[in-house]
Amino acid sequence: MRPGVFISFEGIDGAGKSTHIKPLADALRDQGRTVTLTREPGGTPLAESIRDLALNQAMDPLSEALLMFAARRDHLRLVIEPALAAGQVVLCDRFTDATFAYQGAGRGFDLAVLSQLERWVQALPDGTLRQPDLTLLFELAPETAAQRLAGSRKPDKFESQPVAFFRSVAAGYDQRANADPSRFARIAADRSREAVWGDVLSVVRQKGWL
């Protein structure tokens, strides 16, 4: 059996990451891989209920962070870990880097507390932490992302934040990527959909997964 592969997609709202998840799932399935396509917060009935709360209700940053990690715990136990154990590819639209970027850098919440929550929630039996094998970080100027979002569906609590919030979120992602460069691939998302897709494919091919 081939080992499981865990790929997360990250970026500020409007960076276009979600456009490329399904095509990547299709490309991997064409090569005979079984793919679980999922998202955070969400991916299980409980975590989807938490998503609805976290994205639509006002709350303090600690409550927000705890809800994100509660949803993640359920998602890991019920979906991500079983899929990886079965040798599947898991494509996840956001994971813990989003919590560091949005609740940490965006809301200004204590990064040390987030790191502790990360250690509790993502601990594996051998003492290591579950992290994605690859994180595709879609990078786009917050002003451009805001223009792309304008006029789309009704914005949720995060999408309706001002551009300054997304500048902080982007800085938070940048910090996470600098701290773990071998896990991250930065994708310049200010280009045509085809050009961005070409980069996604080449990063995954370089890893030998396509």
Alpha helices by DSSP H, 57-129 = 61-75, 81-85, 96-99, 111-122
Instruction: Give whichever of 118 and 199 is closer to ligand TMP, judged by the CB atom.
Output: 118
Distance, in Å, from the CA atom of 163 to the CA atom of 71, rounded to the nearest integer, reads 27
Q: CA of 102: how far to CAs of 7, 75, 189, in Å?
A: 19, 19, 19
| Minimum CB distance to ligand TMP, residue 182 (Å) | 22
Instruction: Give whichever of 95 and 209 is closer to ligand TMP, judged by the CB atom.
Output: 95
Instruction: Give whichever of 102 and 209 is closer to ligand TMP, judged by the CB atom.
Output: 102
| Minimum CB distance to ligand TMP, residue 165 (Å) | 10
Residue recorded with tokens 């800085």: 171
The dihedral region occupied by 134, where left means phi > 0, alpha psi between -120 and 50, and beta the remainder, is beta
Backbone angles phi, psi at 117, to 5 degrees: -60, -40
Residues in contact with ligand TMP by the rule CB under 6 A: 13, 39-41, 55, 68, 93-94, 98-99, 102-103, 158-159
| Minimum CB distance to ligand TMP, residue 159 (Å) | 6
| Minimum CB distance to ligand TMP, residue 13 (Å) | 5
Instruction: Give whichever of 38 and 88 is closer to ligand TMP, judged by the CB atom.
Output: 38
